Amino acid sequence: MRSATVTIWPILIEGLVPSIPNVGKDIASWLPFDNATYFLGDSQGIPFAWNDDVAVLVLLVWAAATFAAGLLIARLRDTN
């Protein structure tokens, strides 16, 4: 299940979000893999309001939030 989520997120979710009318490209500029791609030098037509250094920070915030959620879930699982 976890590996399927990692595979589906960048291909399906981040691929379809920019096609949402009116707000898709704004939402896409906050997604983790789009920011990683922007940092590596390709904006993919998404209007980013920041430079590539901030894109790395957005990616790191996503990674830290995911790590914290994993720690919390593991702790709750282990205490019950």
pTM assigned to the model: 0.78
Q: Average per-residue pLDDT in the chain?
A: 87
Please choose, from the candidates 24, 30, 21, the residue with its C-alpha nearest in 3D space to the C-alpha of residue 48: 30
Q: How confident is residue 57, by pLDDT bands cut at 50, 70 and 90?
A: very high
For the purposes of burial, counting CB atoms within 10 Å of the CB of 21, is it exposed (0-12), middle (13-18) or buried (19 or more)? exposed
Please say if the pLDDT value at position 7 is more than 90.
no
The domain locations on the chain are 2-79
Give me the torsion for CA of 34, 38, 42, 47, rounded to 10°: 80
Which tokens hold the place of 1? 């299940």
